[in-house]
Chain A
Amino acid sequence: MTTSIRFDLKHGFLVVALALYTAFAAGPFLWVASMSLRTTTEISAEPYALPDTLHFSKFAIAWTDGNYGTYFGNSVIVVLSAVAVLTVIGAMAAHCFARYRFPFRRFLYFLVFSTIIFPPQITIIALFQILVEYGLFNTRTGLVLAYVAFQLPITVYILESFFARIPSDLYDAARMDGYSEWEIFWRISLPVAMPALSTTVILNTILLWNEFLYAVVLITDDDKRTLPLGIQKYMGDQLIDIGMLATGLMIAIVPVVIVYVFFSEKLIQGMTAGAIK
């Protein structure tokens, strides 16, 4: 803190309050991080101590014996596939809504956009039936399709408002140069919209990485579980191995933390996009 700040009583009180709130907001994760490196015996003896020796080997054990390696792999496959599909078809639709005039444009946009507030229960039971009928129940493909449908509205919303602000001179010039409509999308809209695209990619990655309800309904096999499902499985055990579970939690948290460290502003932008006017 700089010395130029005048530290009167009010300021001092404020800083203490802010520090306390920070401990409250971030403390639980630091605690889990510490537990993830301690053995269950150590945790039982003293739950809130810092690690004496860092048992990094716990991560290797959780990865293989705890099956977290499989869950992690499934999460990566499902989330990356869903995000890739979402980005491409979301961007195409957003570009179309933003740059062309056609009948029912506003109606279709409203139809897609309004699903943002739908509770997932209104689709999930029928989605379960549909995926069973098409042999996609309990497959990662089925989960990916559900995820794409689930995140499509927010993706289109963020991208559409960005595409709509691109100056039309760019498009006119491209048309004069004889670009096809597809080339215009591919070579003008997409490159210019890189910032918005990366926002949606990061946002969708985090939200789907954490998703639980669709996964728990649509996946039953242990070897197809995503991380949240895998973790939840251990929670159901009568004798919870707390130390191991903490390590498992960290395996789920670390990728999110890494993304947050590198892209915090982008992530905040994406998460808050729906709320800012």
Chain B
Amino acid sequence: MEHTAGRLTSSEPGLGLRPVGAIAGFLAPALIIYFAFTAYPVVRTIWNSFFQVFPNRPDEFVGWANYATLLFEDRFFHRAVGNTLVWALISPVVEIAIALLLALALYARVPGSRFFRLAWFTPVLMSYVVVGIIWTWIFNFDWGIANGMLRAVGLDHWAQAWLGHPDTALPSLIFVTTWMWAGFNMVVLLAAMHSLPSEVLEAAELDNCGWMAKLRYIVIPLVRPTILNLMVLSFVGKMRVFDLVWITTRGGPLWSTETVSTYVYKRAFNWNTFDLGYPCAIATIWFVVVLGGVLILTGLLRSRDKLEY
């Protein structure tokens, strides 16, 4: 996700000028907002994590106690971390695999591809609140269409309250985010494929390269940077997933869908513990984990030798 947009060279006239007043004026509003409502809250969250923070009482310094508790004692937190990691590691792979298949289908110049593209993109335009409520109904035991279809094909014994059982709730929610994001990933991949140089593909065509071989040796390696970005995006998105869980299951049943985000929210605003220091420690740890995850993902996937074309 590093910035690679077209840079200006310093040889260009005008850029040597340094109208200090104008520069400060242009930057000030954005930087004030940034420091007041992003940077300062981040620092304050990290600071809080070493304190017990109760309303109407001076903060009490507790050192690493919050971290010790959440790392070694808090089973709910461990459960939340497990669930979130499962989500964040499965989703990027599944979403992008499906998206690749869909993009390839449209890349083969199927009639109506423009319509398909527009239709498949729609789920990502809806809020998680709307999506969550719709899928609560779809997964409903009595009249949800998921069970309706199973019953229609005679698989009655498979019908169940998908979001109500600890074994199926998390997979069902992962299914929902996959439904939501596959189309988005597809659109991005398709755009990347359409920007590939046609000579390469034509050359493969001439070499009598099979469809699978073309995919494996040409298309996928060439769109790898895009796949990498999508994976990072999907990973980061799932590491912070909150709305969908909050609307559908609130982390239940039996903490089977608890995510780090819902747990932070519960500890900060929902349980009557009133201590803001502990959730700040969770948020801080998770912040470090997300940054580390992004670095590892980027490193892992980018280190392979780059293709020139």
Contacts and interface: CB of A to CB of B under 8 A. Distances in A.
B191 A276 contact: yes
B287 to A, nearest CB: 4
Given A25-B183, A121-B286, A98 B127 contact: no
A277 B33 contact: no
Main secondary structure of the interface of A (DSSP, over half): helix
B163 interface: no
Contacts of A180: 22
Contacts of A231: 129-130, 133
Contact of A277 (B7, B108, B226, B247): B226
A99 B12 CA distance: 10
A123 B35 CA distance: 12
A91 B45 CA distance: 29
Contacts of A206: 125
B6 A171 contact: no
B5 A165 contact: yes
B14 A168 contact: yes
Contacts of A149: 33-34, 36-38
Interface in B130-177: 130-131, 133-138, 143, 145, 148
B6 A93 contact: no
B41 A48 contact: no
Contacts, number: 297
A118 B289 CA distance: 11
B12 A22 contact: no
A48 B34 contact: no
A228 B192 CA distance: 33
Given A276-B191, A277-B226, A125 B27 contact: no
A252 to B, nearest CB: 6
B233 A26 contact: no
Interface residues of A, number: 101
A21 interface: yes
A130 to B, nearest CB: 6
Contact of B236 (A24, A117, A175): A117
Contacts of B8: 98-99, 164, 168
Contacts of A217: 265, 269
Interface in B5-62: 5-8, 10, 12-23, 25-27, 29-31, 33-34, 36-42, 44-45, 48, 53
B112 interface: yes
A127 B40 CA distance: 9
B37 A146 contact: yes
- SS class of chain B's interface: helix, strand, loop or mixed? helix
A275 B230 contact: yes
A119 B14 contact: no
Contacts of A212: 127-129, 242-243, 246
A2 B20 CA distance: 62
Contacts of A117: 1, 232, 236, 290-291, 294
Contact of B261 (A29, A92, A119, A210): A119
A260 B30 contact: no
A17 interface: yes
A156 interface: yes
Given A29-B126, A149-B36, 14 more contacts: A25-B122, A25-B179, A29-B134, A93-B31, A125-B268, A157-B3, A161-B3, A165-B6, A168-B15, A171-B14, A212-B246, A271-B121, A274-B1, A276-B192
29 contacts: A14-B105, A24-B179, A25-B183, A28-B131, A31-B134, A48-B145, A93-B26, A93-B29, A93-B31, A100-B17, A102-B18, A112-B30, A117-B1, A117-B294, A118-B290, A121-B264, A121-B279, A122-B42, A130-B44, A146-B37, A152-B30, A152-B34, A164-B5, A206-B125, A232-B246, A264-B118, A272-B187, A276-B188, A276-B226
Interface of A: 1-2, 5, 11, 14-15, 17-18, 21-22, 24-26, 28-29, 31-32, 44, 47-48, 88-90, 92-93, 95-96, 98-102, 108-113, 115-130, 145-146, 148-149, 152, 156-157, 160-161, 164-165, 168, 171-172, 175, 180-182, 185, 206, 209-213, 216-217, 228, 231-232, 235, 242, 245, 249, 252-253, 256, 260, 264, 267-268, 271-272, 274-277
